[in-house]
Amino acid sequence: MDFDLMITSFPKLLGATVITLKLLSASLFFGLFLGLFFAILRLNKNIFINKFAYVYSYVFRGTPLLVQIFIIYFGLGQIEYLRSTFLWAVLKEPYWCAIIAFTLNTGAYTSEILRSAFQTIKPGIIEAGKSLGISNKIIFYKIQIPIAIRQSLPAYGNEIILMMKGTSLASTVTLMDLTGVAKYIISTTFKPIEVFIVAGGIYLFMTFIIHNVIKYLEKKYSFLQ
């Protein structure tokens, strides 16, 4: 065991963690809106809208994240027409390709989490709102959405942790995230165990933080139940 290497690689890996966190926060931010949007579509009574949202979540939950990121990065890059459009300015950058892939993926899972949360809301709560003369719109924004978010916290916490680990795939499209830099250090030192232990430790620490924040939020909003 080369402890010196573990110590010297730690600051480099910590620097790369910033990229990992940026990827994670950007995809969770966009993914949450996308997920909410598709969850609402799923609850729509129109069969076409409903099916459209269903197919989206089915496709992105049914294929590996690695395949999705490869299709978006290497696949779309091979389409000549696309390279002449304005889209190429975004797709040219590995950073944006990764964020698009992660957002679409986490959006699909989030939509399912939120949909099931919406469906667990007791009809009595909505009826109570109606009987007080509150409009449907306000019932939705002020009652259903907050309850759905509270209901989905445990499952969404899991999704955040899964996504955090998923960002390691960014290294497959040349990004120098935590895993990317770990692999880079290994490519010159040929010592995978030491470097991956440190990198794994950093991932574990991030999980620890996320886990505790979600636990705190669950407690804080437990009055909603």
The residues of the shown chain that bind another protein, judged by CB under 8 A, are 74, 77-78, 83, 92, 94, 172, 174, 183-184, 186-188, 190-192
Least distance in Å: CB of 22 to another protein? 18
Least distance in Å: CB of 179 to another protein? 11
R_g of the chain, CA atoms, integer Å = 21
What tokens does 40 get? 């609402």
- As a whole number of angstroms, the distance between CA 65 and CA 61 comes to 9
Shorter beta-carbon distance to another protein: residue 181 or 206: 181
Least distance in Å: CB of 180 to another protein? 9
Shorter beta-carbon distance to another protein: residue 46 or 78: 78
Least distance in Å: CB of 192 to another protein? 5
- As a whole number of angstroms, the distance between CA 162 and CA 164 comes to 5
Shorter beta-carbon distance to another protein: residue 8 or 174: 174
Shorter beta-carbon distance to another protein: residue 154 or 192: 192
- As a whole number of angstroms, the distance between CA 11 and CA 195 comes to 12
Least distance in Å: CB of 13 to another protein? 16
Least distance in Å: CB of 176 to another protein? 9
Shorter beta-carbon distance to another protein: residue 140 or 196: 196
- As a whole number of angstroms, the distance between CA 92 and CA 77 comes to 8
